[in-house]
Structure 1
Amino acid sequence: MRRNVWLLALILIAVLLGVNNTIYYFTTKSSLESNLRHELETVAKQIAISIETSRNGSEKYQDQIGRELRAASIAAQYALNPDIEKVTNAQLVELKSKLDLYDLTLLKRTKDNIVLYRSSDNKQLNYPTSSWDPWYKAFNQLFDQKKVTVKWGQSLTNFWTGPFEFSTVQTKVINKWGYYYDGTTNYILDPYISYDDRQRDYDNVTGVNHMISETLSQNDTVLEIGVLNPETFDSGPRVTINENGEEVTHMTQNPILNGTNAFKHENDSRNVQLANETNKYVWLNTTINGKHVLKLYIPVNINKVASMLDGNGDAIDRYVLTLVADYQTIQDKLDKQFVNIGIIVVIVTALSFIIVYWTATGFRKSQDKLVRKAQETYVEEINQLFQSIRAQRHDFLNHVQTIHSLAEVNKIDELKAYTAELTGEIRQMNDIINIGNPAIAALIRAKISQAELLRVQLETSISDMNKMELGVKSLDMTRILGNLIDNAFDEALNYSEEERFVRIFIGQKPGYLEFAISNTCLHAETLAAKPLFESGYTSKDGTHSGLGLSIVKSIVDQYKGLVRIAINEPGMITFIVKIPD
């Protein structure tokens, strides 16, 4: 039966360990995925910072180019006649070469328009600009000698410049134009340079696309990076038709400003708008182009610049950075860590079983040892009881002879004293024999002998034992009484011989069996407040284990009984045990 209980306990522990390990496995998996997402977010933030640093650097470089265009405008103004009618295109061709410009154009204000009137490039001549919003607005403000109020671009004294952009006249060429007017001429000077001549080299070394390319080459997990314009992403590339019927693409309004978006998904538009509107990260875990990927949409706040415009030509204050990561790389990392976790779980489980087995085996051996010791004590005490009875019977003839001799010599006083002593010893032995329970009788006989040796006054009161129908094992009763009496003897020995007193009461009450063991204790109140029934606790010296009262408590609890401490008389402490029938 006991083996089955331990087997059941081991199975229960195994199930609990299994459930615990399963919960731990999936919790750890979730934690690892969360950590990897956090790691990916950190990488994305670093990429966003790098892109912003590169983009800001590019903007600063364009500002420097703008200042150079303004300086070139002033230099050209000194070389040209202030009247546009007295300036020739040939002069502009010569001047643009000296100033290292791509071309130089002069804008004239007419009654209802502003046109490209003189130019070093004949293709630029006679183009009206009224449809070039917001450039046309800037031209009018310059002619009116007002500060240009366009919310993007670079505005300096008497000067304004926009970003690099495709030319309306030469649709495949990207230029940056500067516009200068200080009122001393009747035209706006418009020097400009080519992207290929100035900006491309810079971008190839430190530009956003270069940075994206370097990041992709250094990071195996990241498959693609894109800088998206949330205002034009849904509508596609911004295209207009020039005066010659040619399509002009506007790079500042492109849906993809930098990088690529080859890993397209049907939810891209919705997620780009969601990231832009909420200013929060948006995750997409899906399969694109046959790959399991994580696509991250990151809103990036910026100062309004000329290089990023919405469909109406107004600067935007936020773009969306997309980052596509290969989930298989992440899954490989997870699998590797899961294998390590699995090994740890198996090892911990095996060690747990071993520890439980050792604990159970040790506990069982300890219990068996205690039971065996109690049984040996029980047998020894029974033998001592029988030995005492045999000794009394063996000495009976000697007692009779002594009584006869005292009677013959007429020593009545000595005879009375001798018979009184003999009667007391016989009565005490008969009282013990009449207890009705051999185990308790043997224990009491042994404790009487021990009390005589220890010079402890022992008083016993045992009643109604013959009527008892005990549900308590004799072995458990002797363990309870033995520990309580030994505990009483230990405390009594702390006092002088005349103060050493122990009282034992055993009796059957209606519905329960009661043990009451009292002993001398001059500090009963203090002792009663201590955790006497806790395993290992002892108020005695270091030679005691502190297990006696703990064993009593565990046995009493096993029988649904109770044990308590009473202080009913001065200088005495009483331990009372009640066990239901």
Structure 2
Amino acid sequence: MSRTKLCTIQHEMGFIVERGSKVFIYTIVAALIISINNVFFYVILKNSLESNHQREVASIATQIKESIEQSRIGATLYEDMIGEKLRSAAIAAESALPSRIIDVSNSQLESLRDLLLVDHISLMKRTTDNIIIQKATDPKEINLEAKTWGLWYKAFNQLFDNHNVTKGWGQSLPNFWSGPYEVASNDKKTIYKWGYYYDGKTDYIISPYVNDEKFRVYQQTTGIDAIINNVLSAYPTLNEITGINPATFEKTIKAAPKDKHIELVYRPYFFGTYTYNNEDQDIAYVNEAVKTKKTTVYRADIKDKHIEKTFIPISTDRMSDAIGLDPNDGNDRFQDTYILCIVTDYKLIESKLQKQFFTLLSIVIIVSIGCFILLFFVIRRLNRSKDKVIQQTSEIYTEEVNQMFLNIRGQRHDFLNQVNVIYGLVKMKKFDQLQSYTHNLIGEIESVNDIIQIDQPEIAALIQAKLVTAIQRKIQFTHDFPSLGHIMTSSKTADLVRMFGNLIDNAFEEVHTLEPEEHWVSCKGWIDGNRFYFLITNPINRSLTSTEQAQIFNSGFTTKVGMHSGLGLAITQSLLNNYKGEITVETENHTITFQISIPIN
């Protein structure tokens, strides 16, 4: 096998190994990028779906809040109408009854009850330290004492003293006050609404009252209960909705005995149901929601279900007077916030989230596969393009190496002829001609020997080929390459051949347009640190302007006359960018110098 073929095979094998390594690295990097992207997408998608769920719960809460508030306004107006009816009944009763309670008979009260269409009528007499029901159509009411009735007792005293109640809750009208619906103290199964009338003309308060039957029908058809049922039906993931009274929740849920009656005014929740109870956590999250005014959430397994409980603080100034009332608050203050508790079946939500996730994940996988396929074809196309370039470069390299060895073989072939010529000139004693002949002969041999001593065979072949071209075109081509060693990989030197070849060819074309004495080109290469430098200088017919120097590496730009593509320097710049190399140009005294620097390996 010839040395030329051996060098070519080594060059191509080195490139194949290097290219295979690069393709493998590019594929691994691309796979890592896509994998990391998928992980990020999974996290973002999961958080996004959970955020969507929270926004959905918040949206439901807003709808419930607005509906409930509107319903509460309607319920309050309905209660006020009943209160006004009770006041009218009380006024009518006053006109039909004696002014002193001692003169009132039970039969009179019963007749008025039936006439006024109320459930019962009671008469309350004030004593030294109490207010007692002395006459009533319901015998169980007689002799009940109001002193233990808290706020109600205070309201009665205000009514006796001022003929009006200013407690800030309940319904206050001239000479009249009515509290919210409440359980009777003598009948825990029935809820009533009482009215209390006193204008000073009698020595007793007149108290007609009615049950909550009509009010319950209203609530079930258009009130809060109806709203909650509609919402639960519309959202299958919702299990329960509760309106929690934060003022009394902890005291009545945890501290109070289970069998103890709790008045409605102090109830722990004032609408909905509370079956998914988890007392300790619920109390903590309710208190946190009230304190921070922010939604709190936790998940737990309750009643064989994995549920999520969301506690949303609702601020309102339209709450019913009874809501938020704290029985241990000496100032009888009302809170301006209640807690809307929404219980969702998180298993159903997770199932829904997983379905959405797997749908989107399938899309991501398909897109990722598409990316890999696209990447494969892009790399394949790039490799084919690079193969074509390398093939062209290898052909040039092979041709130039062959030319170099052809010159060497030619020199050896002509050696005997040259010796004969030298012998003849010596014999004829033509020493001047002998000196001139041997000088030219030795110069040619030394130039070839200098080139052979360049340890990078690709560069040596290029210089040899260009030297032959220079001789043919009568151009003085000088070169200076001290011992460089094998500095470049095969694939990189292939591109170096293209770059150096472009610069040398450009220099030859430029000096060929000048006078014969300016037909010279010099080049040299050296190593400084970890970079290899290549410098080429030649004369030019004029110096370049600053604009031309700035544009000289742009594709299509040329200073040459005639048909020229202007691609040589642009290609050189592009190749250098691939290897983090640099190229500079300087013009001085009608000469131009290009310098390339490129990292070694």
Of the candidates 34, 37, 52, which is equivalent to residue 54 of structure 2? 37
For 1:307, the equivalent position in structure 2 comes to 322
SS at match of 2:275: coil
For 2:375, the equivalent position in structure 1 comes to 356
Give the superposition deviation at 1:256.
3.2
For 1:403, the equivalent position in structure 2 comes to none
Q: Distance in 1 between matches of 2:272 and 2:496?
A: 88
Letter in 2 for 1:529: A
For 1:411, the equivalent position in structure 2 comes to none
Alignment of 1:256-295 (within 5 A): 256-265=269-278, 266-295=280-309
Which structure's relative contact order is higher, taking Cα pairs within 8 Å and 6+ residues apart?
A: 2
Q: Distance in 2 between matches of 1:568 and 1:96?
A: 120
Q: Could you list the runs of 5+ residues in structure 1 that have no partner in the other structure?
A: 241-245, 398-421
Residues 1:225 and 2:241 aligned together: yes
Give the superposition deviation at 1:505.
1.4
Q: Distance in 2 between matches of 1:238 and 1:383?
A: 101
For 1:190, the equivalent position in structure 2 comes to 207
For 2:549, the equivalent position in structure 1 comes to 528
Kept after mapping to 2: 8 A contact 1:175/1:194: yes
Q: Distance in 1 between matches of 2:116 and 2:248?
A: 37
Letter in 1 for 2:303: N
Of the candidates 441, 445, 452, which is equivalent to residue 464 of structure 2? 441
More divergent stretch after superposition (58-67 vs 71-80) = 71-80
Letter in 2 for 1:577: I
Give the superposition deviation at 1:30.
2.4
For 2:134, the equivalent position in structure 1 comes to 117
Return closer, same or farther for 1:286/1:468 CA change in 2, 3 Å cut-off.
closer
More divergent stretch after superposition (422-431 vs 118-127) = 422-431
Kept after mapping to 1: 8 A contact 2:582/2:597: yes
Alignment of 1:414-493 (within 5 A): 436=451, 437-446=460-469, 460-463=477-480, 471=487, 475=494, 477-488=496-507
Letter in 1 for 2:217: D
SS at match of 1:148: coil
Q: Distance in 1 between matches of 2:80 and 2:383?
A: 87
Return closer, same or farther for 1:502/1:378 CA change in 2, 3 Å cut-off.
farther
Residues 1:516 and 2:536 aligned together: yes
Letter in 2 for 1:525: S
Letter in 2 for 1:21: N
Kept after mapping to 1: 8 A contact 2:248/2:327: yes
Residues 1:75 and 2:75 aligned together: no
Alignment of 1:146-225 (within 5 A): 147-196=164-213, 198-225=214-241
Letter in 2 for 1:553: L
CA deviation vs aligned residue, 1:168-224 (integer Å, no higher than 9, x gap):
23332211111122223332221222111x312211112222222222122100011
Q: Percent identity?
A: 33
More divergent stretch after superposition (547-556 vs 65-74) = 547-556
For 1:24, the equivalent position in structure 2 comes to 41
Letter in 2 for 1:101: V
Q: Distance in 1 between matches of 2:29 and 2:242?
A: 55
Kept after mapping to 1: 8 A contact 2:165/2:177: yes
Residues 1:297 and 2:323 aligned together: no
Kept after mapping to 1: 8 A contact 2:289/2:311: yes
Residues 1:553 and 2:538 aligned together: no
CA deviation vs aligned residue, 1:504-547 (integer Å, no higher than 9, x gap):
31235586664314464643422333583xxx745349945574
For 1:409, the equivalent position in structure 2 comes to none
Return closer, same or farther for 1:156/1:514 CA change in 2, 3 Å cut-off.
same
SS at match of 1:526: helix
Give the superposition deviation at 1:482.
1.4
Aligned length: 532
Kept after mapping to 2: 8 A contact 1:145/1:183: no
More divergent stretch after superposition (304-313 vs 39-48) = 304-313
Return closer, same or farther for 1:490/1:186 CA change in 2, 3 Å cut-off.
farther
Return closer, same or farther for 1:21/1:104 CA change in 2, 3 Å cut-off.
same
CA deviation vs aligned residue, 1:301-351 (integer Å, no higher than 9, x gap):
344633323334844433322211111111111211221233223223222
Return closer, same or farther for 1:105/1:501 CA change in 2, 3 Å cut-off.
farther
CA deviation vs aligned residue, 1:227-259 (integer Å, no higher than 9, x gap):
22223333437999xxxxx98641222223222
For 1:419, the equivalent position in structure 2 comes to none
Of the candidates 132, 140, 156, which is equivalent to residue 157 of structure 2? 140
SS at match of 1:149: coil
Letter in 1 for 2:375: V
More divergent stretch after superposition (331-340 vs 569-578) = 569-578
Residues 1:98 and 2:98 aligned together: no
Q: Distance in 2 between matches of 1:500 and 1:129?
A: 131
For 1:539, the equivalent position in structure 2 comes to 557
Return closer, same or farther for 1:531/1:191 CA change in 2, 3 Å cut-off.
farther
Of the candidates 255, 260, 265, which is equivalent to residue 252 of structure 1? 265
Kept after mapping to 1: 8 A contact 2:163/2:174: no
Q: Distance in 1 between matches of 2:516 and 2:77?
A: 103
Letter in 2 for 1:527: E
Residues 1:325 and 2:340 aligned together: no
Give the superposition deviation at 1:161.
0.9
More divergent stretch after superposition (313-322 vs 174-183) = 313-322
Kept after mapping to 1: 8 A contact 2:286/2:339: yes
More divergent stretch after superposition (500-509 vs 330-339) = 500-509
